[in-house]
Amino acid sequence: MKQWELFSILDTVDSTNNYAMAQVHAGLAKHGNAWFAKDQQAGKGQRGKQWHSGVGENIILSIVIKPASVYSNNPFYFNAFIATICLDFFKYYTGGEVFIKWPNDIYWNDRKAGGILIENIYQNKKWKWAVAGIGININQGSFDPVLQNPVSLKQVTGITYDPIRLAKELYTRIISGLATITWESMEGAMIKYNENLYRKNQKVRLKKENVVFETFISGVDQKGHLITKDAIERSFAFGEVEWLISG
């Protein structure tokens, strides 16, 4: 298939997102270029955290995407679109109990199965490129003790998988989805994101600066802000609050 010309496999790399971003900045990348790594030395997660992965056991994938005009004014819709594709992918193999933890983590029950990190390149305030970095635990059976609640697909199903084959499947889902994306499908992704939001309508403990408080998760708005409700309704941007619940 022609699309596999854009899918490359790296034996080892510091970070697939770093590698993809370097290709973009060098003018060597095109829409749909993807890099899968068997080993990643310095994987990047949200809020500057490191993404840990066993060698050859998981999906470590970064995809270069040329933002379409349909979502250029609503970047979080794009995030929601990618997140819901990853949600469907993991749910296909597990059969259910899969959620999106705000903003971009994939959870099975109360355990983290994957994460998404989207990095963007702007020129003169115009969104030129996006690099979608996706890490999903596939076959890993033991994890760094610093990780509190990880889980892999194999731990859920008891089956050993081919991470490269699954990475190509996920890549195909994303590229095919982007090829037919419309405003309606983006709105649908945002609705689906909220329908599958982790701990929605449940009480959670959050921390903002030095203040810990209990509240209920209501949803996520079009700008990607977390909406909570207790005595009042509040809105929090990413990085403004920290979860203090198991998971």
pLDDT in tens, 155-206: 999 999 999 999 999 999 999 999 999 999 999 999 999 999 999 999 999 9
- pLDDT (0 to 100) of residue 52: 62
How many residues comprise the chain?
247
Cα separation, 110 vs 199, whole angstroms: 9
- pLDDT (0 to 100) of residue 70: 85
**Residue pLDDT, tens place only, 108-145:** 999 999 999 999 999 888 999 999 999 999 999 988 88
- pLDDT (0 to 100) of residue 247: 42
Q: What are phi and psi of 8, to 5 degrees?
A: -115, 150
- Least reliable range by pLDDT among 47-61, 83-97, 183-197, 198-212: 47-61
Q: What percent of the chain is predicted at pLDDT more than 70? A: 93
- pLDDT (0 to 100) of residue 127: 93
